Amino acid sequence: MAEDYANLMAQLKAGQLNEFTVEPKDFMAFQRAYMNFESRKRVVGRAEKNGQIIYHYDHEQTQ
């Protein structure tokens, strides 16, 4: 079952969560939530081994 990525990104933005990981099998579910997230340009991913991506929120980025 895919995570509630909109909720996870909201938690990143609010500072309640530092990061979360998206597995390759869940990427399309994440992508749909990501494209609808109002401040998606601040959600930054870092690729890891085996196709995992760790996302965090860049609170210091200027828009």
Residues with Cβ within 8 Å of residue 53, at least 6 apart in sequence: 21, 22, 27, 45, 46, 47
Give tens-digit pLDDT for 3-61.
Answer: 699 999 999 999 999 999 999 999 999 999 999 999 999 999 999 989 999 999 999 86
Q: Render the burial of 44-56: b for 16+ CB within 10 Å, e for the rest.
A: eeeeeeeeebebe
| pTM exceeds 0.85 | yes
Q: Where are the domains of the chain?
A: 5-57
